[in-house]
Amino acid sequence: MVALCRSPGRRFPEGLPLVGFHNLAHGDEQRMVLGMSRTTAYMCFLENAHDGVRHCRNTSPRASETSLGTGIMLSSPTRHIPKLRLYPWLLSLISLGLTTSTCSAQKPTPSTPSASSSITVPVVEEVFASSGNRAPDFAWRDGNGRRLRFSELARNRVVLLNFWATWCGPCRREIPDLIELHRELPPDRFLLLGVSLDQGANAQEKVRAFLESRNVPYLNVLGDVRLADAYGNIMAIPTTFIIDANGRIVERIVGARTKEQFLQSIRRVLK
C-alpha cells in the first residue's frame, strides 16, 4: 500500500510544501519517497529499518537526512512547487496503482454535527505559546458552548496526545490500541486526546462520522496548522506526544506504535 499526501498551500517556516509518499508495505525492503523542486525531481529511499523507524536519504545533494516512523511522510525538503507541475507526476503514480490522499493547510470550516450523534469533534479555536518543554496549551468549545483548555483537562494527569487524520492508514491502524489504552488506564491519572489534522469545509463532520463508525470513546478535537506548528512543526503523522502530570513533554513518537509500545512510554511517567 502506498499513500500520497499533497498540500500546495501548506507552508512550514522553511517554506516546505507537504509532498511525498511512503510505502507502507511490511518487511525490510527499501521504501521510496518522491519529492520535487521547481525544476527537478528527486527520490530517496527509506532504509535501515529498526523498530518501525526508517531513515530517508535524499539523492539531491542539498538534502538532509530525515527520520520518520511508519507513517505518512508529509513534507519534502524543497521549495514550494506550483500545483500544476505536480499533475504529470500524480498521473504517473496513479497509473502504478498508488492510492492518494490530499491535505490542505487551510483552517477547517466548522460544520454542524448530526444531532443524533453522541460524538462531537470540537474545533480548536486558540493556541497558546509555551516555553521550554512544556506542552503548548490550546482551547476549544464543547457541545454546550463551554470554553475548555487542554491544560485544565490534563491537570495532574499523564497525557497521550495523538495527531492523526482519517485518510492516514497507520493512524487508523493505531486506533484499536488507543481505544484499549483509554479503557484500561485510570481516567483520574491518564488522558488520551486525539487531534485530527483533517482539513476542508466538511472536515468536522467527516471526522465525527469516522469516530462514530469505529465507536471511538476518547475525545478528539479538530486541529490545524497553528497547533501542528506549536508542537514542533509536525511533518509526519501519526505523531504522538507523551506528556507528564506536570505538563512537560517527555517523549515525541513519530510513526505508528502498538499498545505495548505506548504502555512502555506511559509507565515511565505514570505514578
Domain 126-267 = CATH 3.40.30.10: yes
Q: Which residue has the higher pLDDT, 29 or 198?
A: 198
- B/e letters for 143-163, b = 16+ CB within 10 Å, e = fewer, are eeeeeeebbeebeebbbbbbb
The pLDDT, as a whole number, for residue 171 is 98
State the pLDDT confidence band at 37, using cuts at 50, 70 and 90: very low
Q: Tell me the per-residue pLDDT of 136-169, one tens digit each, with 9 for 90 and over.
A: 999 999 989 999 999 999 999 999 999 999 999 9
State the pLDDT confidence band at 59, using cuts at 50, 70 and 90: very low
The pLDDT, as a whole number, for residue 91 is 30
Residue 100 in this model has a pLDDT that exceeds 50: no
Q: Which residue has the higher pLDDT, 18 or 166?
A: 166
The pLDDT, as a whole number, for residue 98 is 32
The DSSP line for 225-249 is: HHHHHHTT---EESEEEEE-TTSBE
Would you list the domain boundaries of the chain? Answer: 2-102, 126-267
Residue 26 in this model has a pLDDT that exceeds 90: no
Task: For the beta carbon of residue 110, count every other beta carbon within 10 angstroms.
Answer: 17
Of the listed ranges 20-24, 163-167, 236-240, 242-246, the least confidently predicted one is 20-24
